Chain A
Amino acid sequence: MQLLLSGLANGCIYGLLALGFVLIYKASEQLNFAQGDMMMFGAFLTITFVNNEWFGWPFLPGLLAAMVIMGTITYMMDKYLFRHIFGQPQFAMVILTIALGFVIRFVAGVIWGHEPTAINTPLAGKQVEFGGLVLGADDLSVIIVTFFLTIVLYLFFSRTKLGLAMQACSQNQLAAYYMGIPVKRVFSFVWALAGVLAAIAGVLFASKGTIDPASGLLGIKAFAAAVIGGFGSLPGALLGGLIVGIVEPFAARYLAPGFSQIAPYGIMIIVLIFAPNGLFAQMQNKKV
């Protein structure tokens, strides 16, 4: 149970990251390999605002500030960088985002050092007794936050003009132009959203332990999660994340050492062989 819960919590984080990948991919068919590093950067921004050795703000305003900054940075990145290589072969974008990941890691290392750092959250280290089980408050809060975030995102995509426009642009870009939707600006907002989600994922990740500049490499696992879920589906991305998250700790317990590290990729390969479009590709026909 404890295993399941912590796996679920990890899965939520992978899922949120995978969501970022898929959002960007669905909108503009760009692959963003810097998603994990964006997550790490967002976490360090929050640490800067809330930890006592830095600004020592209360937690929520600090998180909010980090989200706004991350969203602004990724918006600008799209506007001034990615937009200009739009239409180039896809590998140009892949190389660019991989390089960008290195840059982000380097910058984070220079500013915050390479030591694992913990984040001051209101819940850190607390435990919850629940039906005789002792559960980490951090795991629970990750799951709860992700749950609410999913609802908020659902409402955003189905109820707001910008959310609908994001869907419209990804479903039929040309028609979106015809309708006067400023497609390029909408793409930049998609990047901003991915940045905000990355910051939240980063804080959730850091709240479960520590974070250091190399933590961004986790993004590759989230990428596997996105593939498992079927790259075109938002719910699929979340579920793919959960699958990866749950399988990992069980693989660690019941399989030979080291297997848990490759388990996500093993699943990804199996899924690619048997369901090349991902497990949840059909969902695309129903709702995004």
Chain B
Amino acid sequence: MANSPILKVRNIETFYGAVMAIRGVSLDVEEGKIVTILGANGAGKTTLLKTISGVMDPEKGKIEFLGEEIQGMEPDKIVRRGIVHVPEGREIFPFLNVEENLMMGAYTRSDKKNFGADMDMVHSYFPILKERRSQQAGYLSGGQQQMLAIGRGLMSKPKLMLMDEPSLGLSPILVQEIFSIIRRLNKEQGMTMLLVEQNANVALKTADYGYVLEIGRIVMDDSSEKLLASEDVQEFYLGLQEEGQREQKRWKRRKTWR
């Protein structure tokens, strides 16, 4: 890695009570890149993002953002430093209208004069949010809520966006649409992203680099092209093998990283 990464995670361990959900994870995110974390249900992807955004505190390990240690900080301090977490399952404010939701995204900012310009920027990526600006957010469709969640995150003027399963529950067409917007944000705004996905195919085609998380551990990491080409990822995350063959192979083959 040439550039020095803006986010460095080192040996993070995070618990739910006595249950260790993250078992010593390390990863890097370079400025201007999209990095993806793949993993099955319950692998710990959401927990890892929550630990970075400060909603959960790690028991051990270090998180460095722009050269400063941020592990264990309150989430509002971390947002102020430039990391915003676009949560899984959208999590908008249902009884506030669209515009008020966007305003809440900008809560940590005090530069009132750029507010309008940022609102315009968000509207240019998500015209529907302009159209529905005074509608109650709870009545938006799932896809529109996902757009609102991303737009709301943008309003905090982040340097790094943590995106948790933006494709969750969306139709294939909407998934394509959301991901093309994610790519545009990365290109046009230079937005750095850490992207969690179950939809490995679209995630790897979007990202520059990927990590594979299993039961709280990183088991593989490589550039997206290499991961896409890797047999393990193909078999276990892309589902490229034929059904019957897969049944058979399950007996013979263990994942090579075990």
Contacts and interface: CB of A to CB of B under 8 A. Distances in A.
B107 A179 contact: yes
Contact of A172 (B53, B84, B93, B105): B93
A181 B93 CA distance: 13
Contacts of A182: 74, 76
A181 B76 contact: yes
A171 B94 contact: yes
A174 B104 contact: no
Contacts of A130: none
A161 B106 CA distance: 10
B156 A172 contact: no
A177 B55 contact: yes
B55 A164 contact: no
A218 interface: no
B11 interface: no
Given A180-B156, A182-B74, A287 B104 contact: no
A180 B75 contact: yes
A176 interface: yes
Given A178-B87, A180-B75, A180-B79, A161 B55 contact: no
A163 B104 CA distance: 11
A168 to B, nearest CB: 5
B174 interface: no
A180 B95 contact: no
B164 to A, nearest CB: 10
Interface residues of B, number: 26
Nearest to A284: B95
Contacts of A284: 95
Central interface residue in A164, A172, A178, by most chain B CB within 10 Å? A178
B96 A171 contact: yes
B93 A171 contact: yes
A165 B101 CA distance: 10
A193 B94 CA distance: 23
A288 interface: yes
Contacts of B94: 171-172
Contact of B104 (A181, A285, A288): A181
A179 B149 CA distance: 10
B78 interface: yes
A266 B95 CA distance: 32
Given A175-B93, A180-B75, A164 B87 contact: no
Interface in B91-127: 91-96, 100, 103-105, 107-108
B87 A174 contact: yes
A156 B128 CA distance: 28
B217 interface: no
Contacts of B91: 172, 174-175, 178
Contacts of A167: 93, 95-96
Contacts of A168: 93, 96, 104
Contacts of B8: none
Nearest first, the 6 closest Cβ-Cβ pairs linking A and B are A180-B79, A180-B108, A175-B91, A180-B76, A182-B76, A177-B75
Interface of A: 161, 164-165, 167-168, 171-172, 174-182, 284-285, 287-288
27 contacts: A161-B107, A164-B100, A164-B104, A165-B107, A168-B93, A171-B95, A172-B92, A174-B55, A176-B104, A177-B75, A177-B76, A178-B85, A178-B91, A179-B105, A179-B107, A179-B108, A179-B152, A180-B76, A180-B79, A180-B108, A180-B156, A181-B76, A181-B104, A181-B107, A181-B108, A182-B74, A285-B95
Given A179-B105, A182-B76, A287-B95, 17 more contacts: A161-B107, A164-B100, A164-B103, A168-B96, A171-B94, A172-B91, A172-B94, A175-B92, A175-B93, A178-B55, A178-B75, A178-B87, A179-B156, A180-B84, A180-B108, A182-B74, A288-B95
